[in-house]
Amino acid sequence: MPVIKQPKIRDPLFHEWDRKAQKCGLRHTVYAVNGDQYTGEWQDNLKHGKGTQIWKNTGAIYSGDWKFGKRDGYGSYSIPDPVTKEYRKMYTGWWQNDRRGGRGMYFYSNGEHYDGEWRKGLRSGWGKMHYKDGSVYEGQWLKDKPNGQGVLRLPNGNRYEGGWKEGKKHGAGKYFYPDKGQLLEGTWVADIPKCGALVDFERDNAAAPTEFPLPEIELHDPAAVLAEARAMFDDSEN
User: CB count, 10 Å around CB of 219?
Assistant: 6
Strand partners, 221: none
For 105-132, what is each residue's pLDDT tens digit?
999 999 999 999 999 999 999 999 999 9
Considering the domain architecture, whether residues 113 and 32 belong to the same structural domain is answered as yes
* Domain range for 54: 18-132
Q: CATH no. for residue 42? A: 2.20.110
Domain membership flag for residue 138:
no
223 φ, ψ (degrees, to nearest 5)? -65, -40
In-domain check, residue 121: yes
Same domain, 119 and 200: no
In a domain, 192, yes or no: yes
Residue 12 lies in a domain: no
SS3 assignment, position 40: strand
- CA angle, 14 then 20 then 21, to 5°: 85
Contacts of 214 (CB under 8 A, 6+ apart): 182, 198, 199, 200
How would residue 229 be classed by pLDDT, with cut points 50, 70 and 90?
very low
d(CA 62, CA 51): 8
Residues 85 and 159 in one domain: no
Q: What is the pLDDT of residues 126-157, one digit of tens each?
A: 999 999 999 999 999 999 999 999 999 999 99
Mean per-residue pLDDT of the chain: 84
pTM over 0.95: no
Residues 120, 189 share a domain: no
Domain boundary among 84, 101, 132: 132
Q: Do 119 and 160 reside in the same domain of the chain?
A: no
Chosen domain end from 101, 132, 163: 132
Residues 124 and 171 in one domain: no
Same domain, 165 and 117: no
Same domain, 22 and 124: yes
- Assess if residue 201 is contained within a domain: yes
- Largest CA-CA distance found in the chain, in angstroms, rounded: 144
Number of domains observed in the structure of the chain: 2
| Res. 7: pLDDT tops 60 | no
